[in-house]
Amino acid sequence: MPRPMAIVLILLVAVIVAALTAWSSLALWYRLPLPDGGRAIGTGVFLVYGLFTVAALASRQRIRALVSFSIVFVLVLFWWNSIKPEADAAWAPDVARQVTGRVEGNLLTLTDVRDFEWRSNSDFTERWTTRTYDVSKVRTVDLFMSYWAGPKIAHVIFSFGFEGGEQLAWSIEVRHKVGGGFSPLADLFKNDPLVVVAADERDVVGVRSNVRGEDVQIYRLRASPEQSRNLLLEYVAEANALARTPQFYNSITTNCTTTVAKLMRIAGDKVPFDWRLIVNGYLPDYAYDRGAIDTSMPLVRLREIAKIDVRARADGLSPDFSKAIRLGVPFPVAVARP
């Protein structure tokens, strides 16, 4: 092999080994079942080993070093694949239960629908209910964006509207333990399971707008009753699947946006991949470009109308909360999706 090509190949392999070393070291740090000191030692040893392997690629020992590293990395992968989500733990109260559903004809019965009464982020009354809905009466689906860390990152909630005005919101969340919290980096490494929450809007939306002070926006989606109903049933199927087989939350691949995109595809909608599905604060821009939300006005104007904070706080989580936060929010013009 010509020398320039050999150098390029060695550099490429070095980058791959360095990347695998970084990933493995973080995996050991977050998931090695040892006290902090033991995890630090294990992580440090692997990190040094990987760096020595990278250095050895410039020597005559490169093949031996690469074979040795490959064997060790395969062992790390075997260990990694053996880590499964916990089914039972001391979960935080708001994610303590996984909703499940049963469909009989047009009747959907949901068990463990959340209906908390929030007074502050730490002072609330827990209520979990069993409810029955007529899925033939699903009429609309709305998108909530709750911005909690600047304009780039948001939590996504979908809410289904029924004939008569009742709303049922669905939120895909991190199932963290008591005293735990959300960490985007840690949740790349099998830190917490996924949980699907079905709840009243006064609960799952209101806690964000009225209690946590997040910037919450609502967008009415262009979706037929049939499309809305199909998406609702996919949420139910996903919730039932998680109840049977827990799955890890992942900040990039399995989160509140990517899981919804998967469900929408299963329900028959076209959701082309876009970077805004990852940097999900820009999801309204994506929906606007696809004509999935109202396009009769500039997006900047629609975004201002979509902000529910003032209306939500004026309502104060009353029984009319869902109606109050939708005042003035337009439906999309009834034209075909591009």
Q: Which residues contact 68 (CB under 8 A, 6 or more apart)?
A: 53
For residues 174 and 178, give the distance between their C-alpha atoms in angstroms, rounded to a whole number. 12
Q: DSSP labels for 46-74?
A: HHHHHHHHHHHTTSTTHHHHHHHHHHHHH
For the chain, the distance separating the N- and C-terminal CA atoms, rounded to the nearest angstrom, is 51
The reply to whether the predicted model has a pTM over 0.75 is yes
Task: List b or e across 129-168, with b for residues whose CB sees 16 or more CB atoms inside 10 angstroms.
Answer: eebebebeebebbbbbbbbeeeeeebbbbbbbbbeeeebb
What pLDDT, on a 0 to 100 scale, did the predictor assign at position 271?
Answer: 79
What pLDDT, on a 0 to 100 scale, did the predictor assign at position 2?
Answer: 62
Cβ pair 34, 42 in contact under 8 A: yes
Q: What pLDDT digit, counting tens, does each position of 198-254 carry?
A: 999 999 999 999 999 999 999 999 989 999 999 999 999 999 999 999 999 988 888
Q: How far is CA 259 from CA 21, 249, 267, 317, in A?
A: 29, 10, 12, 28
Which own/partner contact pairs does 252-255 have at CB distance under 8 Å and 24+ positions apart?
252/188, 252/278, 254/194, 255/172, 255/280
Tokens of 322: 């869902």
Mean per-residue pLDDT over the chain, rounded: 91
For residues 296 and 333, give the distance between their C-alpha atoms in angstroms, rounded to a whole number. 7
Q: Which residues contact 92 (CB under 8 A, 6 or more apart)?
A: 175, 176, 177, 178, 180
Amino acid letter, residue 28: L
**Which one, of 190, 61, 195, lies nearest residue 204 by Cα?**
195
Q: What pLDDT digit, counting tens, does each position of 163-195 carry?
A: 999 999 999 999 999 988 778 888 889 999 999
Q: Is the pLDDT of residue 138 over 80?
A: yes
What pLDDT, on a 0 to 100 scale, did the predictor assign at position 252?
Answer: 82
Q: DSSP labels for 137-179?
A: GEEEEEEEEEESSSSS-EEEEEEEEETTS-EEEEEEEE-PBTT
Q: What pLDDT digit, counting tens, does each position of 71-113 carry?
A: 999 999 999 999 999 888 999 999 999 999 999 999 999 999 9
Residue with tokens 């791959």: 16
For residues 83 and 102, give the distance between their C-alpha atoms in angstroms, rounded to a whole number. 30
Band of the pLDDT at 334, cuts 50, 70, 90?
Answer: low
Q: What pLDDT digit, counting tens, does each position of 79-90 carry?
A: 999 999 988 899
Tokens of 275: 């970077």
CB atoms within 10 A of CB 224: 12
